[in-house]
A and B are shown apart, each in its own frame.
Chain A
């Protein structure tokens, strides 16, 4: 079973920041938070991951709360091509296994 809870859907205006929340209240100390997304008819695509500290890369930023029970994925300037299902996944780095939940369907509108 997925260890995360995400809203089923969100909207965002093009050019605005998209903030996607994720709850993972049962996360343990050695578990990472991963974000993937799946654009329609494509395979999932890695976005970012983190353990405790906030992370940023060319795609997004990941903000993890101090107690690590929740996180937010931020797409700073959403484009129409960011329309996708976004999956927040908690996983132990030693197991390799990704357990996908139902994700958040992000719709970016013009």
Chain B
């Protein structure tokens, strides 16, 4: 079964530290999404890429967040510096053009 993988699964860090989350999309998928989920805001789209090019990052705080796709098998989401309000579960999803999105298991981030 092809699956989206995310690392790390859990991350605890202190305020001000850099956090890097990684995602390996399903092989052959050309669209990658980053979502954030909190109790208060629910699931929010942060950014997404098609063929490694960023299409929309309007949901992402620009001053501290950055998303990249160094190659077709890796997407990264960085937070620098991290803040307690960034504590959330971050999901990566991949898909093929406009078709269904397949979600990874998420990275649970806690910023102290």
A interface, CB within 8 angstroms of B: 42-46, 49, 87, 93-94, 96-102
Contact = CB atoms under 8 A, between A and B. Distances in A.
Given A43-B91, A44-B91, A96-B31, A101 B42 contact: yes
Interface in B38-82: 42-45, 48, 50, 55-56
A96 B48 contact: yes
A101 to B, nearest CB: 7
A87 B55 CA distance: 24
Contact of A46 (B50, B55, B101): B101
Residue among A46, A96, A101 with the most chain B CB within 10 A?
A: A96
Contacts of A102: 42
Range of interface residues on B (Cβ < 8 Å): 20 to 34
Contacts of B48: 96-97
> Interface majority SS on B: helix, strand, loop or mixed?
strand
Nearest to A48: B100
Q: Which 8 A-B pairs have the closest CB atoms?
A: A43-B103, A100-B43, A46-B100, A93-B98, A44-B103, A43-B91, A43-B106, A43-B104
A24 B93 CA distance: 25
Contacts of A49: 100
